[in-house]
Amino acid sequence: MKKLLTIIGARPQIIKAAALNRAIRTKFPEQLTEVLVHTGQHYDHGMSDIFFEEMGIPRPDHQLGIGSGSHGQQTGKMLEDIERVIELEKPDALVVYGDTNSTLAGALAASKLHIPVIHIEAGLRSFNKRMPEEINRITTDHASTLLFSPTKAGLKSLEREGFSTLAVAKKKGKADIDNPYVFHCGDLMYDNTLFYAKKADERMDLFIKHGIDKDNFILSTIHRPQNTDDVHVLSGILSALNEISIQNKIQVVLPLHPRTANMIERANDDGIGSLAENTLFKIIEPVGFLEMILLEKHAQMVMTDSGGVQKEAFFMQKPCVILRPETEWTEIVESGCAVLAGSDPRKIKNAFNHFSEKTDMEFPSIFGDGAAAEFICKSIIEHLN
Ligand code: UD1
Ligand code: UDP
């Protein structure tokens, strides 16, 4: 039996952890056991607890309760507490997801204690080191022993940074931090979307609750610092969405991330204030995962700066306007299913017009077969020493 210590903290990590935990519990209970550590990076009910409740994730074995703070403060506190938990639990490996401060803290704490790090969503790069996530993911990859890349582009990025191919690494010897094994495995979030898509239909009352016309809305999410920290940038994006809504008589549904909600509350800007006058613009609280995939399933189009949501738009075969200048998920842009618009109102409106007129969209199979979690478990069982 191998004992995994899994670090979660931010909303998308809790959701991703559901897929691996489900695979461990249902398919590999004799070979793997998982101890869950929640850093407390996200703590509102709608950003954390709701996912445990609706996705059947076991309650965390350790709740660190770190909360919000500056990067150094938040990461530093996590590092100290995770180190303590590792010493107590003595796991065979530590699992981290993605690129948040919780990911970085987990990878640093474990690698310094010579505990192998398993990085799920390895290799993704925006090539923009001003994003805190880019620093987190590069550092985590280079402290890891087993790296699971959801895409081929991720695998290529790792090879460019000096990681050996799996075949070469296997020839060199067993996997360890100096001889990491890199796998291309598909996307856990595709597993989750397939698993929960039908269950999501039970949440149709969401449309009535918020007065959403299920056949005529754009789904949007905004939370990146580069889109929210400067009120003029945020105001420009919201004004573009508002104009699109009014001119095309289409609703905009925006489940609001607390970072963005805080910014809007603090701002007293014309662009933001005038949203209230448009009854087609629906700003709602963050929703659970089931409601989110229901919204993605019915939306005409998705406009987002979220990494997870742009991919889920693709899974649901919906066009996506990416509210960022670059993306780690380059394949969805290359396939023509998504467009990079950044925060430029003109580009956002052009992208909406582009997809409104486009009828011939194809969504190639990029993210695996919906069994990434199983593949990851099997690889851990086989290669973790
Ligand atoms: C974090 C991740 C980001 C990820 C996102 C997912 C880092 C550096 N960033 O960004 O990569 O895409 O999570 O959503 O790790 N807040 C609340 N309640 C909560 C959580 C946050 O009010 O439950 C507010 C606080 O004011 C906090 C702010 O949101 O300061 C930002 O939270 P934080 O976790 O620092 O960053 P995110 O923007 O959520
Ligand atoms: N999500 C959700 N409710 C919301 C907004 C997002 O359940 O109100 C889910 C979404 O379906 C995706 C994940 O949260 O699975 C993405 O998280 P987020 O956008 O916070 O972070 P990112 O993926 O950009 O790191």
> Where along the chain do its domains lie?
2-187+368-383, 198-357
Of 47-51, 151-155, 269-273, 276-280, the poorest mean pLDDT is in: 269-273
Whether the pLDDT of residue 305 is over 60: the answer is yes
Amino acid at 142: H
Residue 270 has pLDDT above 60, yes or no: no
* Res 271: pLDDT: 57
pLDDT tens digit string along 178-216? Answer: 999 999 999 999 999 999 998 999 999 999 999 999 999
What token pair was written down for 106? 């987990």
pLDDT at 272 over 80: no
The ligand placed nearest to the CA atom of residue 192 is 2
Is the pLDDT confidence value at 268 over 90?
Answer: no
State in Å: Cα 260 to ligand 2 middle. Answer: 13
pLDDT beyond 60 at 223? yes
362 alpha carbon – ligand 2 mean position (Å): 24
Q: What is the pLDDT of residue 267?
A: 75
| Confidence band for 63, pLDDT divided at 50, 70 and 90 | very high
Q: What is the pLDDT of residues 121-165, one digit of tens each?
A: 999 999 999 999 999 999 999 999 999 999 999 999 999 999 999
Mean local confidence (pLDDT), 92-108: 98
Mean pLDDT calculated for residue range 286-290: 98
Strands laid side by side in the 62-63 sheet: 62-63, 32-38, 2-8, 93-97, 117-120, 146-149, 181-184
| Mean of all residue pLDDT scores within the chain | 96
Please tell me the residue having the least CA distance from ligand 2 atom 17: 12
- Which 3 state secondary structure label does DSSP give 269? coil
Q: Are strands 217-221 and 181-184 parallel, antiparallel or unpaired?
A: unpaired
- Dist. CA 144–CA 228, nearest whole Å: 32
Task: Give the separation between CA 320 and CA 332, rounded to whole angstroms.
Answer: 9
| Rounded percentage of the chain residues whose pLDDT exceeds 70 | 98
**pLDDT value of residue 276:** 75
346 pLDDT higher than 80: yes
Assess whether 223 carries a catalytic annotation: yes
Question: Domain spanning 2-187+368-383: which superfamily?
Answer: Glycogen Phosphorylase B; (3.40.50.2000)
- 2-187+368-383 and 198-357 share one fold: yes
Which is the closest atom of ligand 2 to the Cα of 255? 8
Minimum CA distance residue for ligand 2 atom 13: 12
Atom of ligand 1 nearest to the CA of 103: 15
- Which atom of ligand 1 lies at the shortest distance from residue 223's CA? 38
Ligand 1 center from residue 95 Cα (angstroms): 20
Q: Give mean pLDDT, residues 231-239.
A: 93
How far apart are the CA of 65 and the centre of ligand 1, in A?
A: 14
Report whether pLDDT(269) > 80.
Answer: no
Q: What is the 3-state secondary structure (H, E, C) of 222-238?
A: CCCHHHHCCHHHHHHHH
> What integer is the mean pLDDT of 21-28?
97
CATH match of 198-357 with 3.40.50.2000 = yes
| Confidence at residue 368, expressed as pLDDT on a 0 to 100 scale | 93
* Nearest alpha carbon to residue 220 among 65, 365, 377, 348: 348
Binding site membership of 258 for ligand 1 (Cβ less than 6 Å)? yes
User: Is pLDDT at 57 greater than 70 in this prediction?
Assistant: yes
Residues 6+ apart with CB under 8 A from 68: 41, 74
Q: Which pLDDT value is given to residue 103?
A: 98
- Predicted local confidence at residue 289, as pLDDT: 98
Distance 41 CA to ligand 1 centre (A): 7
Nearest CA to ligand 2 atom 7: 289
Selecting among 38, 62, 184, 223, the annotated active-site residue is: 223
Ligand 2 close to Cβ of residue 286 (< 6 A): yes
> Is 221's C-beta closer than 6 angstroms to any atom of ligand 2?
yes
Least confident of 63-72, 87-96, 287-296, 359-368: 359-368
pLDDT band of 265, cuts 50, 70, 90: confident
Res. 264: pLDDT tops 90: no
Which band of pLDDT confidence, cut at 50, 70 and 90, is reported for residue 257?
very high
**Binding site membership of 22 for ligand 1 (Cβ less than 6 Å):** no
Using a cut of 0.95, tell me whether the model's pTM lies above it: yes
Check pocket membership of 12 for ligand 2, CB cut-off 6 A. yes
